Amino acid sequence: MKKFRFGLDSVLSYRQQVLEGRQNEYGKAMRRVQEQRMRLEAVQQRYQETNQQFREEAAAGISIADAMGFEVGLRALEREIARETKALRDLEAEAEKRRIQMLQAHQDAAMLEKLKEKKQEDYRKAEQKQDELFIDELVSAVRAGRSDS
């Protein structure tokens, strides 16, 4: 019997390439999310430090102009935190979209892999059955040859 050949090998190969591409896209999206989280944490840290400095200086007594300067700076940092938080949410949504696409590509490739395995198993069983028939015919021919003598 000839060697097993899966008719959808080219489709399976394409699906695996798509899966690899989707995995790479998801990995990049997750890196962007992580980088954005770090940017957000840095802004939040600056806000905490500025706020702490304001409280310490206010406790020691500062001018109204200096207090207003701190207030303006803190409001600017709050707006920056809001922008960075929105950017993080957007990137997380994009990463989730990429994750879903990756999972779908994985399912598509897995479905073809299972089909290939089933076809291979069917092929192996048919080959085994053919071998058994050949052996039976051989045994029958040997027995027929003995009974003729």
Alpha helices for 5-63 (secondary structure H): 9-60
Q: What is the pLDDT of residue 1?
A: 58
User: Tokens 């479905």 sit at which residue?
Assistant: 111
Q: What is the pLDDT of residue 33?
A: 98
3-class DSSP assignment, residue 118: helix
3-class DSSP assignment, residue 8: coil
Divide the 149 residues of the chain into consecutive groups of 10 and give the mean pLDDT of each group: 81 93 97 98 97 93 92 97 98 98 95 92 91 88 75
User: Tokens 């097993």 sit at which residue?
Assistant: 4
Q: What is the pLDDT of residue 149?
A: 59
